Structure 1
Amino acid sequence: MNYRYQRRYAGPLQAVIFDWAGTVVDFGSFAPTQVLIDAFAGFGIDISLAEARVPMGLAKWDHIRALGDMPQVSARWQAKFGREMTDRDVDAIYEAFMPLQVAKVGQYSHLIAGALDAIAALRERGLKIGSCTGYPRVVMNALTDIAAERGYAPDCIVATDDLKPGGRPGPWMVLHNVIELGVSDVAASVKVDDTVPGIDEGLAAGMWTVGLSASGNEVGLTAEEWAALTPVAQAIKRAVAEKKLYQAGAHYVIDTIADLLPVIVDIEARIARGERP
């Protein structure tokens, strides 16, 4: 008879790995989307905010490529230039996008309400704080200093172009966090993100995943716009975002990072019962 031993991690959580825009900073995730709109406008192509949000979570070059591949955007490009968008065109838009993003990232990247308290509570529980992003390193160099001035300094920061394999939805950025943070088992990590590629990333790495609805790309409102909605209107928008994130495989979906601590407690209880992500 063949016996197969299945090892199960039974210890405490060791790390939480956060996305940036729409997760810890930039309620509604406007810095990446609005600047993409501006970059395309420089080439005479109008992109709506809703369109710009569709590929959110991808590396920015891939995001631009995905936008260009959308049928309606492709049709506009062909009407303007008489041909399909090429990778060389993507390069040109990306080169126009980058200085705009660096210049404007701080304008949008204020900390989401409750973020510092939530992260402090995680640290009090002995958890390390990791992070990764669809932003390239040049943007993160600017954003890291801005965030630190505002009180947020994670233990690890991985930008989408730091690693050769690439960014989301692959697991490489979060796995690099695992290595840098010295986490002994991927099941001792939680990935928190507001986008489907970010949830895919955590699942691909074998982690617990938490989606954020209200503060993220799927709702796509400022904090003030969200607060101004009636409870019924909030429920409608929340339900759409929750459905998309749960369908992506998120283990939990909450409104914002401020709601995270009870989820962490529940995950540790599930680990103690022998469950794995």
Structure 2
Amino acid sequence: MIEAVIFDWAGTTVDYGSLAPVIAFKKAFKNAGIEISDEEIRKDMGMAKWDHIGKILELADVKQQWQAKYSSLPSEDDRKKIYSNFQQSLIHYLKESTELKSGVLKTFNYLKEYGINVATTTGYTAEMMNVVENKAAENGYTPDLVVTSEDVNNQGRPSPAMIQFIMDKFHIDDPSKVIKVGDTLVDIKEGQNAGVKTVGIVEGSSLMGLSQIEFDELDTEQQVEKRNKVKREFESANADFIIDNIYDLVQIIEYLNESMGKKW
């Protein structure tokens, strides 16, 4: 049977649309005089933020802007300065807004009722997670284990290190008994690298990139179109399962448990 579910945070269980890091990235780069788009940011969303900033600095358009403004390419010191600005912006924003997505508590309570361990991995640092974790706890969401790349020698996603760390803590040897749930392609890759089952979540995901209000304002046809676009991206990444809402995970767990010969 399924023994553990590992969730991502922003875009999966909190922060519908994964808006906080996008805002912080834009502000940090704007402070350096560089304009970046949502699409450029979301391309590698889910990575450790230091690595993510490195990816953005490698973009051709960013290099061109940097060269035009500073007559040189960004240095390691430049990367450190942007990272520092990003951290300050993100932590400020997280303190203001870290709301649970719809269905999170219901799903969490189901998992605990059936004795399934709940853990998390993230691209956030421990300092960032301290803010998010405390806010989530105030609303009743308290995973058994919260892991960052700092717990595994800074081996961020898509490395399987954080999932392997969790499996070791939970004394789970068989990766088929573990599910990784996330809203980015990096989440799916992380799960695949660890050999666990992977589930992509559609609504409120970073891949969709819409706030709750923006999604709700779409007509039914537009919502279906947005969902299908995200589903195609998860399919292209070979996610094992794709769900619209987090509570749909219950059906996946029951299906997997039945296929493993365990019925409740």
TM over 0.5: yes
Report SS of the residue matched to 1:221. coil
Q: Does 1:48 align with 2:37?
A: yes
* Of 225, 231, 238, the match for 1:249: 238
Q: Does 1:181 align with 2:175?
A: no
One-letter code of the match for 2:94? V
User: Aligned residue for 2:133?
Assistant: 144
Query: What is the alpha-carbon distance in structure 2 between the residues aligned to residue 259 and residue 87 of structure 1?
Result: 43
- Comparing 104-113 with 15-24, greater Cα deviation is found at 104-113
Cα RMSD after superposing both structures:
1.4
CA positional deviation for 1:194:
0.5
User: Aligned residue for 1:238?
Assistant: 227
C-alpha offsets along residues 149-178 of structure 1, whole Å, 9 cap, x if unaligned?
A: 111110000012221151111100111111
User: Aligned residue for 1:191?
Assistant: 180
Q: Does 1:64 align with 2:63?
A: no
User: Aligned residue for 2:24?
Assistant: 35
Equivalent positions of 1:1-277 (< 5 A) are: 12-164=1-153, 166-272=155-261
Query: What is the alpha-carbon distance in structure 2 between the residues aligned to residue 142 and residue 132 of structure 1?
Result: 15
CA positional deviation for 1:258:
2.5
One-letter code of the match for 2:4? A
C-alpha offsets along residues 113-171 of structure 1, whole Å, 9 cap, x if unaligned?
A: 11100111111121110101000111111211111111111000001222115111110
One-letter code of the match for 1:206? G
TM-score by length of 1: 0.91
Q: 8 Å contact 1:134–1:168 — kept in the other structure?
A: yes
Query: What is the alpha-carbon distance in structure 2 between the residues aligned to residue 234 and residue 106 of structure 1?
Result: 30
CA positional deviation for 1:227:
1.7
Alignment length, in residue pairs?
262
Query: What is the alpha-carbon distance in structure 2 between the residues aligned to residue 107 and residue 50 of structure 1?
Result: 24
Q: 8 Å contact 1:27–1:112 — kept in the other structure?
A: yes
Gap runs ≥5 in structure 1: 1-11
Report SS of the residue matched to 1:162. helix
C-alpha offsets along residues 54-105 of structure 1, whole Å, 9 cap, x if unaligned?
A: 1101100111111111111221111111122223221110011112211211
CA positional deviation for 1:36:
0.7
Report SS of the residue matched to 2:147. coil
One-letter code of the match for 1:257? I
TM-score by length of 2: 0.95
Gap runs ≥5 in structure 2: none
- Structure 1 moving runs of 4+ over 6 Å: none
CA positional deviation for 1:211:
0.3
